[in-house]
Structure 1
Amino acid sequence: MKILLTGSSGWLGRHLAPLLDARGDDVVGLDIGPGAHTRVIGSVADRGLVDRLFDAHGFEAVLHAGALHKPDIARYPVQAFVDVNVTGTLALLEAAARTGASRFVFTSTTSLMISTAIREGQGGEAAWLDESLSPLLPRNIYGVTKRAAEELCRLFHDERGLPVLILRTGRFFPEDDDTHRALSGENMKANELLHRRLTAEDAAAAHVAALDRAPGIGFGTYILSAPTPFARSDAGELKRDARAVIARLFPDAEYLYARAGWALPETIDRVYDAGLAERELGFRCATDFAGVLAALRTGAALPFAHDADYVSPKEQVGT
């Protein structure tokens, strides 16, 4: 299959491109920064470039993973988010529909589901988040522009018949959190696999699954996160005493964490439910919290990447 992959130099792109190559797909990587899997340097906001690429290659599919992200809020003006995340997505959708592409997979974010109330942990229980959450009240320009791009995707499916799947990914970045530093990066990532994180490898595999399922589904929106061990009935206790819930499910977690010098979460304010992706895409993340504990028991390498010094390729070259 001839595929345009945007964001090919980024963290997701560098995991996704090899999977596509291994399948025998013909992948053209587009990114503003150079990378091993990037054939074209440029921006999705450059409509002329986008049109030329589609006319030259006749792409059958688009995997649109390129974007400005939440940490970029500190580095870029609001207009840049609109240009890249909204106008860039529109240029790709229009080109895909015009040239008869058979599928379009859009990398979105669970961040757009987090209102100020959820972010502040208001209420007496953890928010249980699945695709039925409404209304969506994103709290920053990143979430607002990704939400707008999602609506463009829906519109192009409804009006032009373009098969589009939207993947709202949980956290999979390798660097430290840019706002929370109370725990080490490894400790925080391990905790998040309980309720809001997945590995880059799993995120990439999910995109391949969506690519294959898109024509048959037509349109769909899916949360991607490691399968949570919690049930909806745990929501109240997760907010009050998350360690007690974890202890019931994983009796040796406290010991293993103490041996590693880590801390379990005292409270959990949200849980992403990725069940719909499993039911409709046939995809389930391979790495979960149990995998972290297995590594801690045996001294094996942790099953996720952590790189406190990671810098996005776009920041290495400027924009």
Structure 2
Amino acid sequence: MNILVTGSSGWLGQTLVPRLLHDGHKVVGLDPDAGATTSIVGSVVDRALVRRIIRDEGIEAIVHAAARHKPHIETHDNTEFVAVNVQGTLNLLEEAVAEGSRVDRFVFTSTTSLMISQKIRDGRAGGATEAIWIDETLAPLQPRNIYGVTKLAAEELCRLFNHLHKLPILVLRTARFFPEEDDMAHAIAQSSENTKANEFLFRRLSVEDAAEAHVVALAKARDIGFDTFIISSMTPFSREDRRDLIVDAPAVVARYFPEYRKLYEAFGWTMFESIDRVYDAGKAARILDFTCRTNFRQVLEALRPA
């Protein structure tokens, strides 16, 4: 296929583009920042550029990963988020269904962040008595910042264009796979590696798994038509653990992984005292037949002495 990947110089794009090339696809990478995985420097906000790429390159599939992300809230105003995340998505969708277009599938990189209301974000400090179990049925969606609001608006554009034009579109709500420090770093005194390791229990995946999920979605989009999936490492927890997770997360983890404390102690690591949410990636496993390869068990195996 001839595939357009937006956000090709980003963390996901740097892994996804080589993965698609390895499968024999022709990949056109579009990003405002130059990079080894970007063939065209430009923005999805430029409608004329988007039109030219889709037509001149004979694009058959689009992976739309370009976005202003949560860290940009500190450096970019709301208008920029609307321009890139909403108008940029609309530009791609409209050109994908325009007369003469060969695009027959569209994968949109969304985020689990749009599912987190301020009430969920406050967790135990806000009076929560059990962890929130988060799957695709969670409603109503009440994003707490401009990032989440604009990503939700983009998702709705995807749904609308599938409804109006029957363009096969899969929306992937990815959990955390970025390398930067995150907003739970304050929960422990140790390194970001410790934080990320803990998060594989309930809200993280590797960038390699994120890329692979997009490869699978491209292959299955036409058969599915439209759907939304949480993409995250499979949690070992069950719904019955929700109360204990928010009260004493280390004890719950020890029930599933009795050896984790000893392995963590060797590195000076600790577990979060409380876990206030759990992402359930079961739907992706059932319908996409996709499961992340990296999980908390593998994290522990990597800590074992050689």
User: What range is the shorter-chain TM-score in?
Assistant: over 0.9
Partner of 2:79: 79
Distance 1:51 1:183 in 2: 48
Q: In the alignment, residue 102 of structure 1 is paired with which amino acid?
A: D
Per-residue Cα deviation, 1:139-198 (whole angstroms, up to 9, x for no partner):
000000000000000000000110000000000001222573443110000000000000
Alignment of 1:34-49 (within 5 A): 34-49=34-49
Alignment of 1:110-259 (within 5 A): 110-121=112-123, 122=126, 123-177=128-182, 180-181=185-186, 182-259=189-266
Per-residue Cα deviation, 1:6-48 (whole angstroms, up to 9, x for no partner):
0100000001011100100000000000111100000001111
Distance 2:190 2:3 in 1: 40
Correspondence 1:267 to 2:274: yes
**Percent identical:** 59
Partner of 1:101: 103
Distance 1:177 1:240 in 2: 22
Counterpart of 2:295 (choices 288, 291, 316) is 288
Runs of at least 5 residues in structure 2 that lack an aligned partner in the other structure: none
Any idea what SS the aligned residue of 1:153 has?
helix
Distance 1:116 1:100 in 2: 41
Per-residue Cα deviation, 1:37-94 (whole angstroms, up to 9, x for no partner):
1000000011111111112112110000010100000000000000000000000001
Per-residue Cα deviation, 1:245-292 (whole angstroms, up to 9, x for no partner):
111100010111111110011110000000000111110000000011
Distance 1:280 1:110 in 2: 18
Distance 2:183 2:56 in 1: 40
What is the TM-score when the length of structure 1 is the normalising length?
0.92
2:114–2:151 contact (8 Å) kept in structure 1:
yes
Distance 1:135 1:177 in 2: 25
Distance 1:273 1:145 in 2: 23
Structure 1 vs Structure 2 CA RMSD: 0.9
What is the TM-score when the length of structure 2 is the normalising length?
0.96
Runs of at least 5 residues in structure 1 that lack an aligned partner in the other structure: 300-319
Per-residue Cα deviation, 1:278-318 (whole angstroms, up to 9, x for no partner):
1111100000000111011135xxxxxxxxxxxxxxxxxxx
Any idea what SS the aligned residue of 2:170 has?
strand
Q: In the alignment, residue 176 of structure 2 is paired with which amino acid?
A: R
Any idea what SS the aligned residue of 2:142 has?
coil
2:185–2:192 contact (8 Å) kept in structure 1:
no
Any idea what SS the aligned residue of 1:37 has?
coil
2:185–2:195 contact (8 Å) kept in structure 1:
no
1:195–1:228 contact (8 Å) kept in structure 2:
yes
Per-residue Cα deviation, 1:221-241 (whole angstroms, up to 9, x for no partner):
000110100001100100111
1:15–1:201 contact (8 Å) kept in structure 2:
yes
Count residues in correspondence: 299
Deviation at 1:97, TM superposition (A): 1.1
1:71–1:178 contact (8 Å) kept in structure 2:
no
Distance 1:179 1:297 in 2: 25
